[in-house]
Structure 1
């Protein structure tokens, strides 16, 4: 019993030392792992902070661009208001300022500037009528009320065709150029207005469901409008070709002798006579547009006609809005 006691103490000490060494190694491994984890976490935090900083900078630049864009829109709106005021003053004074800006001619009120003012007034009244129609449709008004509003809008379209007929006598080139329209509208301008056939294509998709008879009627109207438009377009091409041949006949580089002057005056007289037919082209194109609207109204029900007029208005409103956005776009 006395001999065993020392051996037991030695064994116990050895086991304790091994456990201590093993513990120290484990602690070292834990420390290394912890240090590695801290470094990885620091690196991840650094990337996160850098990404957040980049996002804040991108958001700041986006806000600046948006602010500049809004300012440009507001500036364009103010310029438009100023232009409308100038047009109103010009109409009251009975004057016309030429497109070149270097000439002022007295007019009787039937010129390009007067037409622009009258058209702006027509458009304002048209918007009011469309708002009235939209409210009636949304409130499920009866057919009698809708028919009255639709008839008023169609009669109002007749008024703009009358205004254009008067303006064509004063300055047919102003109507053909489309300068009374917004830039996006001018992209689709045809002989001083819209193509009836294109609007009918739009309406076929907007007015579904249509009865088979209505679909046939709208399709036939679209095709006949297309044929009439093609005929007028061919007539305009022929007129342009004829004018070109008239103006290019003879020796363009000859001196101003009496014979050449007479030839020149004869050419100008012929060209003027051919230009006189432009007014007829405008009148025929507007007649086609007017008849198409009336035929469309006969084919559709009152409620469908109301939806058709709203769709036409919304289409042109979007073109005008697109023009405003285009003119106010950032240019950097």
Structure 2
């Protein structure tokens, strides 16, 4: 009983100490919360939060656009695969399908333009197979004799497409001139239904180094002669277009259909048809120039250089076709 008062006093002191510590802790917590609240009200912090939110939103939209682009590429690939399957079935059934979605007459069997499109597709497949064979032979360091057989086969294959184009020009010369049998990027560089020989030779000079001085002179002379022939054909086409315009615009336009005007109209059409007949000759001359350029190039170069040249030409046009596919499959917002 004598120790009891000291115990009570000790208990009260401990309780007071706990209360004081509790009050200090509560004050620290309140101050921290208040300080955090004050910082969140800082305009700089608010601006940083908005910028972070904008960046997150921009990144999200970028991911969505990339996903949509990949989906469009995959869709285009599937459509191309379906078209190839339909074309294969059409070949087996002996009918020709129009790839341009034009007039119904273009999808009928025996149409010259559509028949050429199918034959060109088959020719392109055979060329890809031959090019792959040539590439493997070059990479495996095949002998010149083996390379010569493959190179001669590819040059003979080019002769086939020139022969097919000659037949197609008789059926529909405008189809060849329009280049609708080519991809959009290829049509951008089309000249009289095909490639410019001078441009192809210019491309090869840098791809075939090193060339001997005699070879370089031969390629340069061939390029210049090709350029001159191309200029002459281009001038002839311009003269033909001008002549056609003058023929069709002669007389009075928009006049009433009297018997005299009808006779004049028929005479104009007959003259215009006669002039259009020369278009086939322009196509034939342009293809002869392309064919002779390839043959002359082969004579100037060695067998191994000719193989590299054919690979470079094929790769260039393959990239144009790939560019067309990417362009058509691009995302449109």
TMscore range, shorter length: 0.7 to 0.9
Q: Could you tell me how far 1:65 is from its partner in structure 2?
A: 1.8
Tell me, yes or no, if structure 1 residue 233 matches structure 2 residue 234.
yes
- In 2, distance between residues paired with 1:74 and 1:292? 39
* Structure 1 equivalent of residue 62 of structure 2: 62
Q: Call closer, same or farther: CA 1:331–1:44 in 2, change over 3 Å.
A: same
Q: Could you tell me how far 1:206 is from its partner in structure 2?
A: 0.6
Deviation sequence 1:27-78 (CA, Å, 0-9, x none):
xxxxxxxx9xxx8xx9999999887766655444333222211111122223
Q: Could you tell me how far 1:89 is from its partner in structure 2?
A: 5.1
Q: Call closer, same or farther: CA 1:53–1:98 in 2, change over 3 Å.
A: closer
CA contact (8 A) 1:87 1:113 kept: no
CA contact (8 A) 2:106 2:114 kept: no
* Structure 2 equivalent of residue 171 of structure 1: 172
Q: Could you tell me how far 1:154 is from its partner in structure 2?
A: 0.5
* Structure 2 equivalent of residue 160 of structure 1: 161
CA contact (8 A) 2:87 2:97 kept: no
Q: Call closer, same or farther: CA 1:191–1:99 in 2, change over 3 Å.
A: same
Deviation sequence 1:283-313 (CA, Å, 0-9, x none):
0000000000000000000010000001001
1:178-217 equivalence runs, <5 A = 178-217=179-218
What is the RMSD of the two structures over their aligned residues, measured on CA atoms? 3.0
Q: Could you tell me how far 1:260 is from its partner in structure 2?
A: 1.3
The TM-score, its normalising length taken from structure 2, stands at: 0.81
* Structure 2 equivalent of residue 101 of structure 1: 102
Q: Report the 3-state secondary structure (helix = DSSP H, G, I; strand = E; otherwise coil) of the residue aligned with 1:150.
A: helix
Q: Give aligned pairs, total.
A: 298
* Structure 2 equivalent of residue 270 of structure 1: 271
Q: Could you tell me how far 1:93 is from its partner in structure 2?
A: 4.5
1:1-332 equivalence runs, <5 A = 57-88=57-88, 92-94=93-95, 101-104=102-105, 109=110, 111-332=112-333
Deviation sequence 1:168-201 (CA, Å, 0-9, x none):
1111000000011111101100000000000100
CA contact (8 A) 1:96 1:104 kept: no
CA contact (8 A) 2:107 2:114 kept: no
Q: Call closer, same or farther: CA 1:46–1:131 in 2, change over 3 Å.
A: farther
Q: Call closer, same or farther: CA 1:51–1:138 in 2, change over 3 Å.
A: farther
Q: Which moved more, 1:194-203 or 1:57-66?
A: 57-66
CA contact (8 A) 1:183 1:323 kept: yes
Q: Call closer, same or farther: CA 1:284–1:57 in 2, change over 3 Å.
A: same
Q: Could you tell me how far 1:105 is from its partner in structure 2?
A: 6.0
CA contact (8 A) 2:208 2:305 kept: yes
- In 2, distance between residues paired with 1:87 and 1:293? 30
- In 1, distance between residues paired with 2:84 and 2:193? 21
Q: Call closer, same or farther: CA 1:88–1:275 in 2, change over 3 Å.
A: farther
CA contact (8 A) 1:98 1:104 kept: no
CA contact (8 A) 1:197 1:226 kept: yes
- In 1, distance between residues paired with 2:260 and 2:99? 34
- In 1, distance between residues paired with 2:278 and 2:235? 14
Deviation sequence 1:101-144 (CA, Å, 0-9, x none):
34336866351111111111111110111111111111111101
CA contact (8 A) 1:95 1:104 kept: no
Q: Which structure 1 segments of 5+ residues have no match?
A: 1-34
